[in-house]
Amino acid sequence: MNSGAVLTIDFAALAANYRRIRAQVAPAAVAGVVKADGYGLGAIEVARTLMREGCEHLFVALVGEASALIPALDGPASVYVLNGLLPGQEDECLAAGAIPVLNSLDQAQRWAATAARANRRLPAVVQVDTGMARMGMETWEIDAFLADPTFAERLDLRLVMSHLACGDMPQNPSNAQQYARMSALAERFAGVPVALDNSAGSFLPRGHFAMVRAGIAVYGGAPNDAPNPMAPVVALTIPIAQLRTIPAGAGVGYGLTFHTERETRIATIPMGYADGWPRCLGNTGSVFIAGTRVPIVGRVSMDSITLDVTDIAPEHLYPGAPVEILGPHQSIDDVARDAGTISYEILTQLSRRYHRIHLGLPEASTSGASAATTRSPSA
Ligand SMILES: *Cc1c(COP(=O)(O)O)cnc(C)c1O
């Protein structure tokens, strides 16, 4: 499985990003969002790093993610399930010790029934829809939830939350609308802590209620269109597999979609769309060699990509020579822009075939986590 690609994940930078957001939103607490295996970087390692910074709240998307994560944690943290409870998942959620985000009256009823069966109050979060129409209770469901005292008896409501539709567009009027709706709903859920903001919302110039849920900015992605204040967390390099020189007028790759206009030096690297590198970067994206931009030419294949390295000095071109895919010259946001997507998609698709090096990962204090994969920065 070894293409020679090396994905370096800098957990010290991740911790610094967490502290940066905490300073930004204080006195609000900062929960870490570690769904989708910590945006592809390793939920257990990310959680361990954040908990070392004092983070006590973690969000995953699925009950199964919670039941995998919780036994691997080396301390106490509340683990919340954003997608809530699909029918039939109540017992797994209970057994895992996870806290479901109740997104509908139906989910609240099933969790309250689970509490009755378990003969104890169960912790829960209620999500309300303040204007995104994705998840969360609608007005009639909130009314019904608050009107029925059995919910208050059976459920220990830890948080009432909602989610911004346009937090990364600070000027969008929906941000103020959602904030106002959340403020009004907070009064109806008297005494329950409130959380509205994601990474982008954490950078809006207003209050942040009791808690924010930070994902992408912790992982180094830009929270909005302003210059990115976060430290990069990932770097990816891969060696050149093969070099050739082809004449003017030759075609490159599937469909021969690139035609040379001059004698051209082509380098092939052993990664492709099977590694999560978007196929749409064919004839569009870039990589860097010795700090110089190198265009991707031809289509991105499943396991290989062709580069026009004609303008690169020969001493940097040999089989095994390093190519920067992500690093000081190209961020996850740069790649996302070229691919017409968002940094989240680039991160969560990063290949499991890359060799991973963990920098600055705190040692596990129990045997639960994988200390064997840890390397110190000097390694
Ligand atoms: C994924 C998610 C977050 C984290 O969002 P980022 O933009 O990555 O900070 C927060 N809240 C909810 C409900 C989410 O689904």
Provide the residue count of the chain.
379
Q: At residue 373, does pLDDT exceed 50?
A: no
pLDDT score, position 1: 64
Task: Find the mean pLDDT for residues 332-342.
Answer: 98
Annotated ligand binding at 302? The verdict is yes
Smallest CA-to-CA distance from 25 within 144, 226, 177, 198 is with: 198
- Residue type for 172, please? N
pLDDT score, position 2: 83
Task: Indicate the SS3 state at residue 358.
Answer: strand
pLDDT score, position 379: 31
Lining ligand 1 with CB less than 6 A are 33, 35, 82, 163, 198-200, 213-216
User: Across the chain, what does the average pLDDT equal?
Assistant: 95
Q: At residue 202, does pLDDT exceed 50?
A: yes
Q: What is the pLDDT of residues 166-188, one digit of tens each?
A: 999 999 999 999 999 999 999 99
Looking at residue 130, the DSSP 8-state letter turns out to be S
Substitution candidate for ligand 1 out of 14, 18, 41, 59 with most atoms within 8 A of CB: 59
Show the tokens assigned to 337: 């822009």
- Under the banding of pLDDT at 50, 70 and 90, the label for residue 363 is confident
Q: Do residues 99 and 124 touch, judged by C-beta distance below 8 A?
A: yes
Cβ count near 181 (within 10 Å): 17
Q: What spacing in Å lies between the alpha carbon of 79 and ligand 1's midpoint?
A: 14
Q: What spacing in Å lies between the alpha carbon of 241 and ligand 1's midpoint?
A: 38
Q: What is the pLDDT of residues 308-332, one digit of tens each?
A: 999 999 999 999 999 999 999 999 9
Annotated ligand binding at 134? The verdict is yes
Q: Which atom, in ligand 1's list, is nearest to the CA of 202?
A: 9
Q: What spacing in Å lies between the alpha carbon of 228 and ligand 1's midpoint?
A: 18
Q: How far apart are CA 108 and CA 195, in angstroms?
A: 19
Q: Do residues 165 and 178 touch, judged by C-beta distance below 8 A?
A: yes
Show the tokens assigned to 352: 């499991």
User: What domains are defined for the chain?
Assistant: 11-214 (3.20.20.10), 234-373 (2.40.37.10)
**Who contacts 184 (Cβ-Cβ below 8 Å, separation ≥6)?**
none
Looking at residue 286, the DSSP 8-state letter turns out to be E
Q: Do residues 330 and 324 touch, judged by C-beta distance below 8 A?
A: yes
Q: At residue 369, does pLDDT exceed 50?
A: no
Cβ count near 87 (within 10 Å): 8
- Residue type for 155, please? L
Q: At residue 165, does pLDDT exceed 60?
A: yes
Q: What is the pLDDT of residues 62-88, one digit of tens each?
A: 999 999 999 999 999 999 999 999 999
Q: What is the pLDDT of residues 229-284, one digit of tens each?
A: 999 999 999 999 999 999 999 999 999 999 999 999 999 999 999 999 999 999 99
The DSSP element (H or E) to which 154 belongs, if any, is helix 149-154
